[in-house]
Structure 1
Amino acid sequence: MKNYSEQTALPDMETFTSEFLAQSQLTDELVVVGTARYKKTLAFIKYALLLDAIDEGWLYEQQGWMFNQLHRYREAVEAFDRARRLGYANDGWLYKQKSYALNKLERNEEALEAGERARKLGYVNEE
């Protein structure tokens, strides 16, 4: 954990709140309710990363999943890689989600490798 002098300055609460509310404005609730929720969650994850209060690896793993839900696959892969480097290298779910994002990016060989890694780690698809 960073000491106080090394911590990233936190955004002013008014700015954070206005950015957060701007992301949650909906025009067609039936189409974007899920999207709005994912975007809100991403805003909270971003803020939690600034606070350095929760396991960063877990936050990046969740961020990757949110990016997958928003079809932002490149960002998802980056988030999963960060989570892996922060201690989640043996998480089958992470590799399954990363495989999904890589598949969507048509990076088929990498997707197969990630899927195989998930299987070897004992990940069982819940569906």
Structure 2
Amino acid sequence: MQHSNQTSLTEVKALPAELTSQYSEDGVDVFVGAVHHEKTLTFIKYALLLDAIDEGWLYEQQGWMFNQLQRYREALEAFERARQLGYGNDGWLYKQKSYALDKLERNEEALEACERARRLGYVSEE
């Protein structure tokens, strides 16, 4: 299962308001920031306990949240768990892993992960 086939946690409408808090200013949604990421990590933690959603996808999302919070070592651990759970052919995962490795100044590994993302067909959305 690839990342592109999954729904982002921020798109889930069934979450309580405190987990999806956003506000609109001049018609533009404003991102809440670190507090939002921390709450999403809490959601992921409980979702993993419930075994209700694909664990590999949850770990992939957890890794992304850790990257957003600049918790790169934890991000790498989450990405490795996602890989072990069947996301080893997900280019997005390797792009995010590359980002974390780069921030940790593990340049050679970051380059390898980026190359793996490219080989898997990941195209940056930027």
TM range (shorter): 0.7 to 0.9
In the alignment, what sits opposite 2:46?
47
Q: CA deviation at 1:33?
A: 2.9
1:114 equivalent in alignment to 2:113: yes
Q: CA deviation at 1:121?
A: 0.2
In the alignment, what sits opposite 1:63?
62
Find the structure with the greater CA-based Rg.
1
Structural mapping, 1:21-40, within 5 Å: 33-40=32-39
Gaps of 5+ in 1: 1-20, 25-31
The separation in 1 between residues aligned to 2:99 and 2:77, in whole angstroms, is 13
Instruction: Name the TM-score, length of structure 1 as normaliser.
Output: 0.74
Post-superposition CA distance 1:65-101 (Å, at most 9, x none):
0000000000000000000000000000000000000
Q: Greater share of helix residues, 1 or 2?
A: 1
In the alignment, what sits opposite 2:103?
104
Aligned length: 98
Q: Greater share of strand residues, 1 or 2?
A: 2
1:72 equivalent in alignment to 2:74: no
SS at match of 2:52: coil
Post-superposition CA distance 1:1-60 (Å, at most 9, x none):
xxxxxxxxxxxxxxxxxxxx8xx9xxxxxxx93100000000000000001111000000
The separation in 2 between residues aligned to 1:67 and 1:55, in whole angstroms, is 19
The separation in 2 between residues aligned to 1:117 and 1:44, in whole angstroms, is 30
Higher relative contact order (CA 8 A, sep 6+): 2
SS at match of 2:32: helix
The separation in 1 between residues aligned to 2:76 and 2:70, in whole angstroms, is 11
The separation in 1 between residues aligned to 2:78 and 2:104, in whole angstroms, is 15
SS at match of 1:33: coil
In the alignment, what sits opposite 1:27?
none
Please list every run of at least 4 consecutive aligned residues from structure 1 whose deviation after the TM superposition is greater than 2 angstroms.
Answer: none
SS at match of 2:33: helix
Instruction: Name the TM-score, length of structure 2 as normaliser.
Output: 0.75
